[in-house]
Amino acid sequence: MGVAALIAAAAQSGVAGATPAAAPAPGKAGPAHAAVRLSPSQRTELIRHADAGRAATARSLGLGAKEELVVRDVVKDADGTLHTRYERTYAGLPVLGGDLVVDTAASGAVERVVEANTAPLKVRGLTPAASTKSAETQAVRLARSLGGTRSAADGVRRVIWAGSGKPVLALETVVGGLQDDGTPNRLHVITDAATGKRLFTYQGIETGVGNTQYSGQVTLTTTQSGSTYTLTDGARGGHKTYNLNHGSSGTGTLFSQSSDTWGNGTNSSAATAGADAHYGAAVTWDFYKNTFGRSGIKNNGVGAYSRVHYGNSYVNAFWDDGCFCMTYGDGSGNAKPLTAIDVAGHEMSHGVTSNTAGLNYSGESGGLNEATSDIFGTGVEFYANNSTDPGDYLIGEKIDINGNGTPLRYMDKPSKDGASKDSWYSGIGGVDVHYSSGPANHFFYLLSEGSGAKVINGVSYNSPTADGLPVTGIGRDKALQIWYRALTTKWTSTTNYAGARTGTLAAAGELYGTTSAEYKAVQDAWAAVAVGARSGGGGGGGTSYENTTPVSIPDNGPAVTSDIAVSGRSGNAPANLQVAVDITHTWRGDLVIDLIGPSGTAYRLKNFSGSDSADDVRETYTVNASSESANGTWRLRVQDQAAQDVGTINSWKLTFP
């Protein structure tokens, strides 16, 4: 990922299960699974050690002779467990969607592997049938249709595409230039090297004493050389803040002056926006360090840099991995720079995501990417504890992009912005990532604060739930720890909403125990946004039983099954038994899906369809199972009845209303 803007201009097949640790005290995080706060040198040494052993690791994982691992990051727990994140290459080519996380116990034994794609990595050849020229033409045409300005691509390279389905040789084309609103362009277009078909597209630009415009008078860390002060923060990795003076390239000029008082609280002084940005960067650094033990965006102790006064009347802000920098426009009429605290935290959190899970900036993973920045941006705002801009669950409420005094996004009820979605549904992967982020933002709010009406820091909220049942919050601090641990140790580039649920449950189980109130709250908060089942029983909302163990579906082969054992119920199953299915599979029409009751009777959920070429099955079916005993073994049976595609049963659940 390269760049993501604050406003709008794939499925995980290998998911982590929740491994219970020694039971922690109720409401307290288990110390064994707390991440150790590593110094930059300690982290470098762990990465060096993992790199030295990557060939042996590849062999132990059963990777092919042409596959190699590339170490990206290592997280160490207090009990010695290592979570090592790898990229992968095949015959020297980068594998997009081939990333994985390997959990290794202190003894050296591999405990768990989370893969972005579990399909075998093997392609027929490495010579493209489609020409690079045709791939470039297609990518440039697409970029121009989206407001791009370039007539040629920045480059085309061979890759292996494993972002979904069966891995194939592909061509990745990157088109630069500017988008129609002035945001830099890094459009990545993945083309099947055999057929010339476009496989995937994502935008690599990720949008989300100073007298500041939004935070009042604050203390800034600056650097003095002789009689000159500069906005250089030597306490936070050397972070610098520059004035682009309405330019759109380069770094501009480092803010420097003879006085150590910056700005006047209005945009009549160019240094005001500089003070806001410098303060936002410092607060974000401190939030990550003191909340998670993370030393900078890359966790290597090195600061990024900020650029303000980008373009002319540019109504956006963005993070760019390419320059490792944060950029702010001045808003409509150059009157409202986008330098508020939560915007700074949002954008720089895109850098954290890029350097951890690397969530693809498209589809459901793109929504999770955006939500992660909203979630941590909110965390930064609360952490700052600034009386001029107190913490809230509103995104961009200070910058007034809409021009009517309303926030850009609402976490308690995302649909209040007119475009975001409150809950998950099967088509949400096709929604712009700034709006498909809604269910995850909603989940985080519910997990933190719970449902219903309440007032926090003077702001009124009233959060609904998809199933009409209440959710009791566990507090923002715990919710942040769960989300961060899932991001850094459980998720991969292709994680979708179902995978996010599994990863946060695994994180909650490790931190607080699988029988804890925190673990159950994660289940309930996800169910409240239509992802997965409730923790079971009570509230009149029914009881659900779930199997989250992945099962591979062979290509045009025998049927595979996944079982759920139900006990402790009386009488027969209901006439409206709910069967929720989460299956990753390209060309889903190949699949036939049945529910097998305890009596052995089959209930057809999905028929074969040769014309249904869409990916994946994520549906909830209603079955009249009233002739079945409720107790017993229920079985999901799935068979692929045509060649060329493989898949995985990620999870499924039964809900007894």
The secondary structure of 482-514 as a DSSP string is: HHHHHHHHT--TT--HHHHHHHHHHHHHHHH-T
Whole-number Å distance between alpha carbons of 432 and 599: 45
Q: Residues in the chain with pLDDT < 70?
A: 1-2, 9-26, 180-181, 205-208, 536-542
- 628 in active site: no
Assess if CATH 2.40.160.20 describes domain 363-527: no
Amino acid at 364: E
- Per-residue pLDDT of 347-393, as tens digits, reads 999 999 999 999 999 999 999 999 999 999 999 999 999 999 999 99
Measuring CA to CA, how many Å separate 511 from each of 18, 101, 506, 582, 641? 10, 18, 9, 26, 42
543-656, CATH topology level: Jelly Rolls (2.60.120)
Q: Which two tokens stand for residue 569?
A: 């119920």
Give the list of residues 6+ apart from residue 145 with CB closer than 8 angstroms, or none: none
Q: What dihedral angle (degrees, nearest 10) is formed by the CA atoms of 92, 94, 95, 98?
A: 100
For residue 450, the one-letter residue type is G
Q: Which fold has domain 210-354?
A: Elastase; domain 1 (3.10.170)
Residues 420/437, Cβ–Cβ less than 8 Å? yes
- Is the pTM for the entire model greater than 0.85? no
Partners of 159 in the β-ladder: 170
Would you state the pLDDT for residue 536? 63
Cα 615 to Cα 32, 166, 645, distances in angstroms = 40, 12, 10
Residue 19 confidence (pLDDT): 38
Strands (E), 195-254: 198-203, 205-207, 210-211, 217-218, 223-225, 228-230, 232-233, 239-243, 253-254
Q: Which of 87, 115, 136, 347 is catalytic?
A: 347
Classify 41 as helix, strand or coil: helix
Rounded to whole angstroms, the Cα distance separating 256 from 229 reads 5
Which of 628, 631, 637, 583 shows the shortest CA–CA distance to 605? 637
Architecture of domain 132-205: Roll (3.10)
What residue segments make up the domains of the chain, in order of their start?
132-205, 210-354, 363-527, 543-656
**CA pair distance 534, 546, nearest whole angstrom:** 10
From the list 404, 270, 232, 329, the residue with the least C-alpha distance to 5 is: 329
Report residue 480 as tokens. 């942040």
Catalytic residue among 239, 278, 309, 434: 434
**What's the pLDDT at 656?**
85
pLDDT value at residue 150: 84
Q: Are 368 and 495 in contact (CB under 8 A)?
A: yes
Give me the pLDDT at residue 598, please: 94
Report the pLDDT value the prediction gives residue 30, as an integer from 0 to 100: 76
347 is an active site residue: yes
Same fold, 363-527 and 543-656: no
